[in-house]
Amino acid sequence: MGSFILAIIFFTPLYCLILWAYFSPEESMLFGQRWVYKEEPEFSPKAIRHTKFTSLMALIGIPIFVVDILLRSNLLKIGLAILLFVYLIGIFRIITDDKE
């Protein structure tokens, strides 16, 4: 029970930060780096899609990871492997997509 409470305490702020990165990718890409630019930078559509895709994968992967830790189940390791495979396919599609 104690590990469940600690997992919730540690992963809730991280989950909220990833939700913010998904819904406002431009702001999250500038987080802590805004002072570097004199004017507002423009991000490419691929960079924005990559940020949103990575955030979405993390939003799906974190609960799988937490449940795996709490239940100490080897079955969920297959889910993590599938998630990694889907992530690699998604990154490949973002890189090779010619829409701009």
Contact 49/94 with Cβ under 8 angstroms? yes
Q: Count how many domains the chain has.
A: 1
Type of residue at 66: V
Q: What is the pLDDT along the chain (100 residues), one digit of tens a residue?
A: 777 788 788 888 999 999 999 999 998 888 877 778 888 888 888 888 888 888 988 888 888 777 777 777 776 777 778 878 888 888 888 778 766 5
Type of residue at 31: F
Q: Which two tokens stand for residue 20?
A: 């913010």
**pTM surpassing 0.85?**
no
Domain residues for the domain of 44 are: 2-96
Please count the other Cβ atoms lying within 10 Å of the Cβ belonging to residue 95: 9
